[in-house]
Amino acid sequence: MFRKFFRRTPLAWLQLKREPTRFAVALAGIAFADILIFFQLGLAEGLFDSVTKPYTALQGDLFLINPLFESMAVVKSFPRRRLYQAAGVGEVRSINYMYIDQGRWRNPQTLKNQSTMVFAINPNDSAIVLPEVKAHLDRLKLLNRILYDRTGNADLFGKIVEPLQQSGSVPIQFNNIQTQVTGTFVMGASFSANGNVITSNSTFLRLFPERRADQIDVGIITLKPGTNIERVQTAIRSQIPDVLVLTHAEFIEHEKKYWQVNSPIGFLFGFGAVIGFIVGIVIVYQILYSDVSDHLPEYATLKAMGYGDGYLMSILIQESLIMAILGFIPGFIVALGLYSLATSVTFIPILMSVNRAVLVLGLTIIMCVASGGIAMRKLQEADPADIF
Amino acid sequence: MNLLLTVTKMSEPIISARNLNHYFGDGNLKKQALFDINLDIYAGEIVIMTGPSGSGKTTLLTLMGGLRSAQEGSLKILDRELRDASKQELTKLRGNIGYIFQAHNLLTFLTAKQNVRMSLELHDRYLKGDLDKVANDILTTVGLEERAEYYADNLSGGQKQRVAIARALVSQPKIVLADEPTAALDKKSGRDAVELMQKLAKEQDCTILLVTHDNRILDIADRIVYMEDGRLMDRPETT
């Protein structure tokens, strides 16, 4: 059957090729639509990656938060004794907790304040398990010592890394208190904040005098190996109904959901992608429609010769698929360029993923075939009786 | 006389219309285009249908070509009854008929050879063989071997019509229907075109029904039928 197919004259391809300008315009249109979709989806995924970065640095089986804790950017504390109560439910190996807040980092060069996320950990038992943080824990045991996320933009935070390598510590005014940066780590800027700082619980309480030691932001529970996490989760929930008890995956999902649903950002990106899709449909439809209109007598001639509707429809579908695939390729390449441009401007890493490439290719094919389907109605007008 | 001779010579007609009526429009606008057509055409005959514009010649031609379905009476083509035939049946029938149009109707995005191939590709028996060779052979026969790779737009009117003739006849159809094939051609090209049709048809024992106003080509016909106001009638003596 396929052999027969390839022996046939490739009408779809020949028709597209005969009008190179129109074909090029069609491909440019599809590429444009693809770029739009790629860019929107890429930014959205970059956003979600960036806001969940701190979460992936955490280690634990269950996480306790205030039900009003919406995201790292909208933190709400809860009483520390709730964590101790939860620890009373058997099978708990260890507990830990973290304070989170946003503080003002003063750029040592420009003296401008920069909003910064602060994660406070216990230097004897860090909840953040990044290797670089672990290596610097001893230095954090001293008061007013902080670690700096070196992916921060030097224009915003000042030059930190080089002076740190030379002298081993850099003085920084943080929340109007003199601190020393004694090391760096990598977490990445996010939509919540341009930069991150890690410090000890004790330093945190000094930097934020209004915060109380017994009001924590994230409670972390590590269970004994082999314990059924869901069972313990249910048990803690029934005992302490006024906090949220989440597994690690649920905790990440909680943050993502905030950006997807509660913030307009997720909607905007989705909207942009849908617009790209519609633009693509309109462009491909226009091209196919004018192709069919221009060649209507010729299609009617084919019908008169004995070709059925199915054959003519398959030509349109083939044209759609050819345009989809050939339009996708430049769209993909330009999107790669845009990703690296956006990454260098926003400092939020936006990467191409196989999943997204396959998704957009699929959308492109749906887009083109759908337009082909609409253009088919025009094909019905080709009446072989009219051409005599 | 001529008609009687033909009838006795042939056995089964290849095209047979009995009491065929045809209407356009609905309700008050309904207008009868064909009245009580009775016509038999036999294998290998070349029949020219002539008559004034609007007399219904083209309507009859489209009915016989399976391009419209017959409404009233009986119309048998290649032993198939076309009255109330389904779209699929008509499409299938059309594969066995060659068409030559006034406006050649070549596919403009294909070369001469590819246009001829399109006619062959409908038939499985050709798909298995060397399509290009068959197409080139017939283009050689119509004297266009040098133009096989030209797009239709780059051919002259006469050359286009010769490609159309090659396309219509390459798959060796039993019937060729032609509507004013010489109308857009000058005297010589027109003459060449119909002589080519005549030659190929005789070789393949193919029946040709040709609608024309062109008095210059009437002599190629075995038989001439005259149509006026939707009726077949005896040809008035013209000067």
Average pLDDT, stretch B175-204? Answer: 87
To the nearest whole Å, the CA of A55 is away from the closest chain B CA by 59
Percent of chain A past pLDDT 90, that is, above it, reads: 48
pLDDT per residue as tens digits for the range A287-330: 888 888 888 888 888 988 889 888 888 999 999 999 999 999 99
* pLDDT-based confidence at residue B227 (cuts at 50, 70, 90): very high
Give the C-alpha separation, A378 to A289, whole Å. 7
Give the C-alpha separation, A173 to A177, whole Å. 5
Average pLDDT, stretch B46-67? Answer: 90
One-letter amino acid at A307 equals Y
What residues in B contact A292, CB-CB < 8 Å? none
Give the C-alpha separation, A294 to A319, whole Å. 15
Contact yes or no for A101/A204 (Cβ under 8 A): yes
B212 touches chain A (CB under 8 A): no
Which residue in the set B109, B119, B179 is minimally distant from A14, CB to CB? B109
Q: Is residue A150 pLDDT above 50, yes or no?
A: yes
What residues in A contact B131, CB-CB < 8 Å? 7
Determine the pLDDT at residue B1: 45
Helical (H) or strand (E) element with A360: helix A354-379
Query: Can you give the length of chain A in residues?
Result: 388
User: Cβ contacts of residue A299 below 8 Å, gap of 6+?
Assistant: A292, A312, A379, A382
The overall average pLDDT reported for chain A is 89
Helices assigned H by DSSP within chain B: 2-9, 57-64, 87-94, 112-120, 124-127, 131-141, 157-169, 187-204
Backbone angles phi, psi at A216, to 5 degrees: -105, 165
Which residue in the set A17, A298, A384 is minimally distant from B67, CB to CB? A384
Q: Is residue B6 pLDDT above 70, yes or no?
A: no
pLDDT per residue as tens digits for the range A250-265: 999 998 888 888 777 7
Q: Give Cα A200 to chain centroid, integer Å.
A: 30
The overall average pLDDT reported for chain B is 86
Query: Tokens in use for A348?
Result: 């939020």
Query: Can you give the length of chain B in residues?
Result: 239
Give the C-alpha separation, A383 to A182, whole Å. 81
Mutate which: A1, A7, A9, vs B, most B CBs within 10 A: A9
A297 touches chain B (CB under 8 A): yes
Chain B residue whose CA is closest to A5? B127
What residues in B contact A295, CB-CB < 8 Å? 107-109
What residues in A contact B106, CB-CB < 8 Å? 298
Contact A388 B92 (CB under 8 A): no
Q: Which of A108, A127, A100, A105 has the alpha carbon at shortest distance from A116?
A: A105
Q: What interface predicted TM-score (ipTM) does this complex get? A: 0.85
B61 touches chain A (CB under 8 A): yes
Q: How many residue pairs from chains A and B have C-beta atoms closer than 8 A?
A: 81
Output the pTM of the full model.
0.75
What residues in B contact A306, CB-CB < 8 Å? 91-97, 122
Give the C-alpha separation, B201 to B169, whole Å. 8
Average pLDDT, stretch A219-230? Answer: 91
Distance, first Cα to last Cα, chain B? 20
Average pLDDT, stretch A97-115? Answer: 93
Determine the pLDDT at residue A388: 65
Average pLDDT, stretch B4-30? Answer: 77
pLDDT per residue as tens digits for the range A323-350: 999 999 999 999 999 999 988 877 777 8
Distance, first Cα to last Cα, chain A? 34
Contact B127 A7 (CB under 8 A): yes
Give the C-alpha separation, B76 to B183, whole Å. 29
B150 touches chain A (CB under 8 A): no
User: Cβ contacts of residue A351 below 8 Å, gap of 6+?
Assistant: A42, A46, A339, A343
Q: Is residue B237 pLDDT above 70, yes or no?
A: no
Q: Is residue A166 pLDDT above 50, yes or no?
A: yes
To the nearest whole Å, the CA of B233 is away from the closest chain A CA by 23
Q: Which of A162, A151, A154 has the alpha carbon at shortest distance from A185?
A: A151
Determine the pLDDT at residue A2: 59
